[in-house]
Amino acid sequence: WVLQSNTSHLSTFVYMDQHSFEESCARAAIAIRKADIFLLCTGAGFSADSGLSVFKDIANIEAYHKRNITYPELCCPIWLDKDPELFYGFFGKCFNDYRETKPHRGYQIIQEWRQSILDKQYETEDTFSTEFNNKFTEAWNEFIRSKELDDESFYNPKTGPFFIFTSNVDGHAVASGFLEDEVYEIHGCSNIWQCKDDYFCVKADDCFNALNKGLLWRAPKDFRFDVDTETMLVHDSEEEKEGWRQHPRCPHCGGLSRPSTYMFGDMWWADHKPPRERYLAWEKVVLDYVQSGNKKLVILEVGCGTNIETVRSHTETLAEGNGDITLIRVNPDEAQFQDTSKFSNQPISISSTGLATIMEIDKNIKAQSKTTPE
């Protein structure tokens, strides 16, 4: 425990795991090997290991310094009206970076952990995964009935005891091979687009399944923005690439379009709703299992800072539940917990980057598997 002074001039105790990096990773490996259910929660720090920028670096570019514009000011839909060239320059650079950057090896390692949880149940003739999916399907269908949704495009997602909850909009979880059914991008995804004036156009935000109905749409696979790297602007032209102009248009009204991602001060985001409801149905099933004392849940939170605390708050709220829940927090600068007494299990904090930690945990999992079979 360490004593930390806060802005109110009072002192608060902040929990920091005093184990070494190696010891903490070994403890995390034990928890993951014992897990029946695994939730991966990621923020910008997880994508940073692929080479993408984190909050403080996104707008750290000379062209923005000259205009005295900060990241929160740039990441705002108002620029579509005030200065479309600036808007598409900023979001176009992000869009291009997301598509041209290869997801790091940590995604592959976690896919192996995910598979090992399923394999463990198969090898012991445990029917938990099948039972879990059946219960999830029941919860999903109950939601569909409660909303009186009769859209023929609905289907029963195949979701097992694994999920990804991420604030990243880069689409790397799905690009690295995880199923869309098991990924919830809470701020949307840069690959999905909407009309700038959705409320006055097709009202995609009022439709539950807007993507399947074409009210939201996916960006062409090979499209890139032509960003002027000196000015960080994108100039429009009538020439199309992959069917898109450099200032992409709404296919319904012909007005400007934008990524369907949540921005600062954003009242016009048309959220793609099925992933959120899939996750909530999944979480309901998980908590039923864990709170009944039957199963172990491990939450691995990686790269989630305090600038935007949505993910950190969510993992802590989940870990407060009754039952066998272990929260592992990985962050090079902010791995601390304000209060651990509220958790059912002692959390594990690891002050390091995501990829280095995942690789060290994986090394421990492999070593432990040789000496201590599950």
> pLDDT averaged over consecutive 10-residue blocks of the chain (374 residues)?
37 59 96 96 96 87 94 95 97 97 98 90 72 89 78 67 97 96 96 96 92 94 96 94 95 97 95 92 94 92 92 94 92 91 92 97 94 71
**What is the structure's pLDDT at 147?**
76
User: What is the pLDDT, as a whole number, of residue 11?
Assistant: 35
Strand duo 188-195 + 37-42: pairing: unpaired
Residue 339 is predicted with a pLDDT of 85
CA 142 distance to own-chain centroid = 25
| 352, containing H or E segment | none
> Which residues partner with 260 through β-bridges?
189
Handedness of CA 7, 11, 17, 19 (dihedral sign): positive
Buried (b) or exposed (e) across 26-43, using 16+ Cβ within 10 A?
bbbbbbbbebbbbbbbbb
Spatial strand order of the sheet with 37-42 comes to 183-185, 162-166, 37-42, 296-302, 324-330, 348-350
Please answer whether residues 311 and 43 qualify as being in contact, where contact means their C-beta atoms are separated by less than 8 angstroms: yes
CA distance 60 to 53: 9
- Cα 49 from chain centroid? 15
| 3-state SS, residue 330 | strand
Nearest CA-CA partner of 297 in 279, 316, 317, 323: 323
Q: Supply the pLDDT for residue 209.
A: 87
- Contacts of residue 355, Cβ cutoff 8 Å, sequence gap at least 6: 49, 104, 105, 106
Q: What is the pLDDT of residue 240?
A: 93
Q: Rounded to an integer, what distance in angstroms lies between the CA atom of residue 336 and that of residue 231?
A: 39
How many angstroms separate the Cα of 133 from the Cα of each of 123, 137, 158, 162, 166? 18, 6, 7, 11, 22
> What b/e string do you get for 93-118 counting C-beta neighbours within 10 Å, with b at 16 or more?
bbbbbbbeeebbebbebbeebbebbe
Half-sphere exposure of 134 (CA within 13 A, CB side): 5
Burial 50-65 (b: 16+ CB within 10 A, else e): bebbebeebbebebbe
> In sequence order, which residues have a C-beta less than 8 Å from that of residue 33 and are 6 or more positions away?
365, 368, 369, 374
DSSP result, 87-102: HHHHHHHHHHHHHHSP
Sequence-ordered list of residues with C-beta below 8 angstroms from that of 374, at least 6 positions apart, any chain = 33, 34, 120
Residue 335 CA, chain-centre distance (Å), reads 18
pLDDT of residue 208: 87
Q: What pLDDT does residue 145 have?
A: 82
* pLDDT computed for residue 143 by the predictor: 85
CB 352 within 8 A of CB 21: yes
Q: Cα separation of 19 and 17, whole Å?
A: 6
Cα 90 from Cα 79, distance rounded (Å): 10
Beta bridge partners of 15: 337
Chain-centre distance for alpha carbon 203: 25
